[in-house]
Amino acid sequence: MSFSPIPGVGDRESDRQEMEMKVTPSIRKRCENCKMIRRKGVLRIICKTNPRHKMRQG
């Protein structure tokens, strides 16, 4: 009889990557808080309330 230790619960949380930015040929605002900015001719969307809205025109 052995006591097997259970690996840490909630390890899957580390899989999330919120820094990732979507690259799409055509971008548009997805909510009122989305902001469109232009840098070096590249159009980007940044969003305060929904970081997932962030994207970049490729």
Residues lying near Zn ion in the complex (CB under 5 A): 30-31, 33-34, 47, 50, 53
Q: Which is nearer to Zn ion, 24 or 33 (CB)?
A: 33
Q: Least distance to Zn ion from the beta carbon of 56, Å?
A: 14
Is 24 or 50 the residue whose CB approaches Zn ion more closely?
50
Question: Cβ(27)–Cβ(38) under 8 Å?
Answer: no
Distance of CA 48 to CAs 39, 52, 55, Å?
18, 9, 13
- For residues 15 and 18, which CB has a smaller minimum distance to Zn ion in the complex? 18
- Number of Cβ within 10 Å of residue 35's Cβ equals 13
